[in-house]
A and B are shown apart, each in its own frame.
Chain A
């Protein structure tokens, strides 16, 4: 078809547009059906946030209790506030320290010349993602614990052991190290995929123009990653009130609740352990609302900086 001929079809006829819309709507149907059936339909069950939910009575027959399940939040229970504070602190540290690691790994890997080395390194670094937290925590204890490999060696050679596992002062650092070790290589894959979209011609052109590798990184590679980085940051922000439940509860005893109680473990220790499903739903609702606020604000900020964010204006 020639250019001139198609210019006419651009202002396409109404039936054609309708057909296009119809197709796009059709595309969304299976996904929407799943969302409605397995997310939104059960979400109705979160009404138990306002009930004294007893499983054998059922959702509708359980008695209403108003805002009772929100009590720790409303009254500012010190244990709850401590958990909230820890959660925010851990999220902050992990966002600043752990989040950039996979990006740097992806860039470093991208800079490696040999395709084979690249592949080998990639497939090594993503391995720890497959270990469960039980195993990761056990491995860290085996190596870094007070009776672990490193300290045993230190003591055997007459040196002082280093207190890492079970030391509340370095607990957040330990958590961050564990998260990084477990998931940095895995998260890197997404950035590698983003890098692969960058037009190789840009690099060729830059090389022809004599741009250094550093300049190429700054002017081609980083801009190419920016969109996905911003997107992931915003999503992480929306999730900032959840930090690794399993990782934390496995290690709480070692450092105490002052340092290691987070929102999810608080709900578990104080609600679910006694069968208080209502409270867990209540905290879930609050977390969702906070998440919405954070995502919306972050998205606004992203727009100000000319980024797409999660969705465009």
Chain B
């Protein structure tokens, strides 16, 4: 029967999650269609550095584990004594309209929401929000753009021709943020320089980064308790080790498999192989024709052929895979680095549940590379029609980005003491009954730099910090950060989708590994060549 509501296909954008190896990869892809890639490559510095904002890290809160630039985040065992951050309310008293996405359940309406009321009071402006589930944000954003109904501040959704769009609809922030000007907005100044590169469009700062930094990298988790039970206390030191470990953890008769899915990002890391792009001797190249891709696919195929991957991995959503990990149906699970803490929380009721991220070995031993996607999950912008309020709106954004350890951060993430959380041994404990008031999605306008902090689990913080300091010594970065390719903005997702689908065919054994070469040729012919050219030009222009 025909249903009345089968209008749009875009509504199901989230379904495109398909079989991407990690949550982060897909998250970055969805959010960064602006740059159009989720590829990886060597270090890059492509944006005219003169224009970038000064980085001034907030140092009034002393972490238990000090951040090592480029290597680790700050680590905290307890929530520090909250310090004040701003001396006056950032708002100008006029209502602020904003459009955001959320990955959480929607909050109660303003009249029933003590948190939102308090937020308005502290902001000094009434915040009116259009909140959209992240999976449907692309559709909502496209209609708001088409209808000319974008609000004062908005999270930038996927759009072709991003530079033209930003020029037409976003306020130029350069004069307010470039160089030391940003110091007027200490929350924003606390965001690392790299994050801002994505916001520079045609040489002007047009947006605000939603920074995740090195928190969003893909990793492969192992159930430490399961491994220990079997007397395994060493991480695999090569691919052969990994394959053997996987075989050992697989017992189909007992309905257990080693892996929730083929960890392609991890395998590429073992081969020091950037997924799509790299800088070689300072010039921009594609790695797609690199032989190591065939090797990575062989490796993935070997894991699959040995029967070590859950047979339903291609049809199961991420939440299902997490359940497999919890139920010991699988013991290894590729996910984002941030999930480390979330997995513990979701499985707090499980006795003995313990995980750690496997270090990345080289394919034949030695150290492999940690894949580092673009450091942002997206950017936000201020409407060109709100240009007259830009200073106040930037102050609001800066307030949203108040660093960890401040009073403002505590309020934004945990709510009002007594109503939404209570203190327990130096950690805020959230009241589950009012918890759904506390997330309005404002973190997609501006957000603080992430730190390592897990209430009541200092040993997990320590482990995660150790992992960072070990793995980030050798990384694969995405060289497209700060570069723009018009062809990529229009065709990368579909071209890349075809490659990912081919990858799944190969892993499942439906196509031979050699089919990859033909797939890459198709990618190049369908627009890949133009994409490389455009990135190369952008890279050269930026110097």
Contacts and interface: CB of A to CB of B under 8 A. Distances in A.
A266 to B, nearest CB: 10
A137 B1 contact: no
Nearest to A265: B9
Interface stretch (A10-18, A108-116, A146-154): A146-154
B490 A272 contact: no
A165 B315 contact: yes
Contact of A276 (B310, B311, B490, B510): B490
Interface in A218-254: 235, 239, 245-246, 249-254
Nearest to A102: B1
Contacts of B314: 166, 253-254
Interface stretch (B14-22, B82-90, B402-410): B14-22
Interface residues of B, number: 53
Contacts of B255: 147, 152, 155-156
Contact of A273 (B19, B315, B493, B508): B493
Given A256-B508, A256-B510, A274 B15 contact: no
B160 A276 contact: yes
A57 B6 CA distance: 27
Contact of A269 (B19, B310, B497, B511): B497
Nearest to A129: B1
A253 B19 contact: yes
Given A155-B252, A246-B15, A249-B15, A147 B312 contact: yes
Contacts of A55: 142-143, 145-146, 159
A58 interface: yes
B274 to A, nearest CB: 22
Interface string A188-217: 001000000000000000000000000000
Contact of B1 (A141, A148, A186, A280): A186
A169 to B, nearest CB: 11
Interface in B137-164: 142-143, 145-146, 158-161, 164
B510 A168 contact: yes
Contacts of A246: 12, 15
B1 A187 contact: yes
Contact of A145 (B145, B168, B312): B312
Q: Is the interface of A mostly helix, strand, loop or mixed?
A: helix
B176 interface: no
A257 B501 contact: yes
Interface string B484-495: 000001111110
A154 to B, nearest CB: 10
B537 interface: no
B201 to A, nearest CB: 14
A275 interface: yes
B461 interface: no
Given A54-B161, A246-B12, A274-B492, A253 B312 contact: no
Interface of A: 54-58, 79, 137-138, 141, 145-148, 151-152, 155-156, 158, 161, 165-166, 168, 183, 186-187, 190, 235, 239, 245-246, 249-254, 256-258, 264, 267-277, 280
Interface of B: 1-2, 6, 9-10, 12-13, 15-16, 18-19, 33, 142-143, 145-146, 158-161, 164-165, 168-169, 252-255, 257, 310-312, 314-317, 320, 324, 329, 489-494, 497-498, 501, 504-505, 508, 510-511
22 contacts: A54-B159, A54-B165, A55-B142, A56-B145, A79-B498, A141-B312, A145-B312, A147-B255, A147-B324, A155-B255, A166-B314, A168-B510, A250-B315, A254-B312, A257-B498, A268-B10, A269-B498, A274-B160, A274-B490, A274-B493, A274-B494, A277-B142
Given A147-B324, A273-B13, 15 more contacts: A54-B164, A55-B146, A57-B168, A58-B146, A145-B311, A146-B310, A147-B312, A151-B311, A156-B255, A161-B311, A250-B15, A250-B315, A253-B504, A258-B505, A273-B497
Give the 6 A-B CB pairs with smallest separation, nearest first. A146-B311, A55-B146, A275-B160, A253-B19, A55-B145, A254-B314
